[in-house]
Structure 1
Amino acid sequence: MIKSTILGAAVVLAPLAATAQQTLTAETTSAGSSPHYIDTTFAAALESAGVATLQITEGATLTNSVKAVAEGRLDIAAAPLILPFLLSRGIGPYSGVGAEKGKELADNIRAIFFHAGSHQIFAYYDSKPIEDITKLDGTRIWNGPPRGAALTSGRATVQLLSGLKDGEGYEGVQTPWPDAVSTITGGSVDAWTSPDGLPSGRQIRIAAAGATTIHDIPSALYNSELGKQITAAPGHAPFSMPVDEYRAAYAGNDITIVTDDDTFDSYSTAFGEIVPAEMDEQLVFDIVTVVLEAQDRFEKGSPIGPNLNMTFGDIDGVSQGACGAVQIKMHPGAIRAYQEAGFTVAECLHP
């Protein structure tokens, strides 16, 4: 993993002077992803306000990051909301933890804000096209890192498209996030599926090696019983955008967007920035106050900014992928920051 330290400012701004600047540890995904942009922008905003210095580890496996926050070994992480859900039950990548310990650990996690800056895509190189994305027998498909939420979503997408399971009809290929682009551009796979923002730096880098085509989920499959189950699954939320707007985001790159109607339909990966439950309430209040005041910075700092689905307003819980199967709670300091900014937070998110 690549570790970068983002240094904080020496002067504490007056409105936030009650809390001395602190050094906090954080983990996020690799460069080019939505969580990476959010977390580095987050760190820069905290630096400018003089609230905290974030020591960020990039290219992290978020399955491990979520557990580290729950255990109090890490201060902040970008968390796909399916991971606290799985941890609370001691299943999936946390099966070794067990249900009792998993629930205890999950109870130590608090969200401070939410985002859904990525959605699932399916793509291939035009030089080696997939003639029918519903017939993927015998193919090799990069479907995520070795474990975690992205792999679960990637496998679900291939199953929805083709009815095939990983290892039963197609060969799933997994590599750590920092190796994803090189694995795909190296030509060892026939196609790939991944959660990406819009526009995705990762997809632009992949297309730099040759023209690519990105598909959404065909309407009949998207609206099928399985499609609805996947869209509503823990950690997911529906995603639809006019295809003309979607294509415009990739203008100037050698990327073709294919849909069967006038919208790009998929599902988003619901994320929350998480901290340990015992983190100081005033510190969290100051951190979230900075985030809420930095809306322009998040939305204008990158082409991906307007499509981050960041929570800069009322939080109803359901739109954020919580208050259903996922029962994550918000930190009291974060709730207070939202309320003092004039926003409401659903009762289901209160500890």
Structure 2
Amino acid sequence: MLKKTLLGCALSLAPLITNAQTTLTAETTTPGSTPHYIDSTLAAVLASAGVATMQITEGATLTNSVQAVAEGRLDMAPAPLILPFLMSRGIGPYSGIGPDKGAELAANIRVIFFNAGSAQILGYYNSNPIEDIRDLSGKRIWNGPPRGAALTSGRAMIQLLSGIKDGEGYEGIQSPWPDTVPTITGGGVDAWTIPEGLPSGREIAIAASGGITIHDVPSDLLASELGQQIMKAPGHAPYSVPIEAFRKAYDGNDITVVVDDDSFDSFATAFGQIVPAGMGEQLVYDIVTAFLAGEERFLTGSPRGPFVRMSFGDIDGVSQGACGAVQIKMHPGAIRAYEDAGHTIADCLRP
């Protein structure tokens, strides 16, 4: 897997970086993704504020990054909230550590802010169209990396749309994140389902090889018993964007967006920016204070900025995908920063 380390943010920030008091180690996803945008922007914000320098490793597998934070080997990472949930039970990708150790590690994770910037989509090439997204039997579908939160969500999407499971009604194809686009553009799959930010550089890259169509989840399926279970499942949160805004985000690209009403509706991948519980309260306070002050930079620094659904205001927990099946706590320094900025934090998020 290709990884790249970025020190701070950019050379142009070097004079500011010299004033930073702390160096933070962080891991994030590949360039073009929402977590990467958030982390690279956070690095610039913290450097500009003189709070810290972020040493970021790109292209990480977040399953491993979350464990590294829990073990205190890494200062920060974006975490799909299903991962701390699975870790706390020692199941899924954390089955090797067992429930006792998993619970101990998960208890060492704290969130400093939330986002839900990626929503599950289904896509296919117009040259090889899916005639009915409710009938995917026998198809080869890219549904995620070899393991982790995205694969769980991808499998849930196909089960919701078509009522079939990976390896039973269809063939699920997985590859590491850096290989996603070439795997799809190489013609080895009939369709793909991916949690994507808006606009998605990955979908734009896929469409460069030929026109594509993207679907949301039909309203009746989203409102069904299974749809509501998936929406409320660990690591998910509701997602809805007016269709005009969704289509406008892809202007100039050969991307058709199909919905059954006036909005693009799906389930989002709920994320929390995590740090070890033992990180100093004042440092976290300074990080989150700078984050909140940098709201405009986050929202305007990229076309996807307005759609990342970052937590710049009151936090009720449920809207962020927490305080349900996922029981995760915020860092006291983050809570203090939010409250000093005039925002409220749900009691279920307090340590």
**Per-residue CA distance 1:125-180 (angstroms, 9 max, x = gap):** 00111111111111111101110000000000001111111111211111111111
Instruction: Look up the SS of the partner of 1:251 in the other structure.
Output: coil
Within the alignment, does 1:128 sit opposite 2:121 as a pair? no
Instruction: Look up the SS of the partner of 1:199 in the other structure.
Output: coil
Measured in 2, the distance between the counterparts of 1:133 and 1:35 equals 29
Q: Is contact 2:25-2:75 (8 Å) kept?
A: yes
Shift of 1:4: 2.5
C-alpha RMSD over aligned residues? 1.4
Within the alignment, does 1:155 sit opposite 2:155 as a pair? yes
Between stretches 303-312 and 317-326, larger displacement belongs to: 317-326
Q: Is contact 1:330-1:350 (8 Å) kept?
A: yes
Aligned to 2:350: 350
What letter is aligned with 1:147?
Answer: R
Within the alignment, does 1:3 sit opposite 2:4 as a pair? yes
Aligned to 1:214: 214
Q: How many residues align?
A: 346
Measured in 1, the distance between the counterparts of 2:76 and 2:103 equals 19
Aligned to 2:313: 313
Aligned to 2:241: 241
Between stretches 239-248 and 133-142, larger displacement belongs to: 239-248
Structure 2 residues without counterparts, runs of 5 or longer = none
* TM-score, scaled relative to structure 1: 0.96
User: Which contiguous aligned blocks of 4+ residues in structure 1 show a shift greater than 6 angstroms?
Assistant: none
The within-5 A match list for 1:280-299 is: 280-299=280-299
Q: Is contact 2:29-2:36 (8 Å) kept?
A: yes
Aligned to 1:39: 39
Aligned to 1:79: 79
Instruction: Look up the SS of the partner of 2:170 in the other structure.
Output: strand
Instruction: Look up the SS of the partner of 1:117 in the other structure.
Output: strand
Q: Is contact 1:12-1:49 (8 Å) kept?
A: no
* TM-score, scaled relative to structure 2: 0.96
Within the alignment, does 1:190 sit opposite 2:190 as a pair? yes
- Fraction of identical pairs, as percent: 71
Instruction: Look up the SS of the partner of 1:313 in the other structure.
Output: coil
Aligned to 1:340: 340
Measured in 1, the distance between the counterparts of 2:124 and 2:154 equals 14
What letter is aligned with 2:307?
Answer: N
Measured in 2, the distance between the counterparts of 1:292 and 1:183 equals 38
Measured in 2, the distance between the counterparts of 1:64 and 1:259 equals 35
Q: Is contact 2:16-2:47 (8 Å) kept?
A: no
Between stretches 146-155 and 253-262, larger displacement belongs to: 253-262
Instruction: Look up the SS of the partner of 2:292 in the other structure.
Output: helix
**Per-residue CA distance 1:194-249 (angstroms, 9 max, x = gap):** 00011111111111111000001111211111011001111111112222221111
Shift of 1:44: 1.1
Measured in 1, the distance between the counterparts of 2:68 and 2:86 equals 15
Q: Is contact 1:9-1:48 (8 Å) kept?
A: no
Measured in 1, the distance between the counterparts of 2:196 and 2:92 equals 23
Q: Is contact 2:114-2:310 (8 Å) kept?
A: yes
Structure 1 residues without counterparts, runs of 5 or longer = none
Instruction: Look up the SS of the partner of 1:169 in the other structure.
Output: coil
Aligned to 1:168: 168
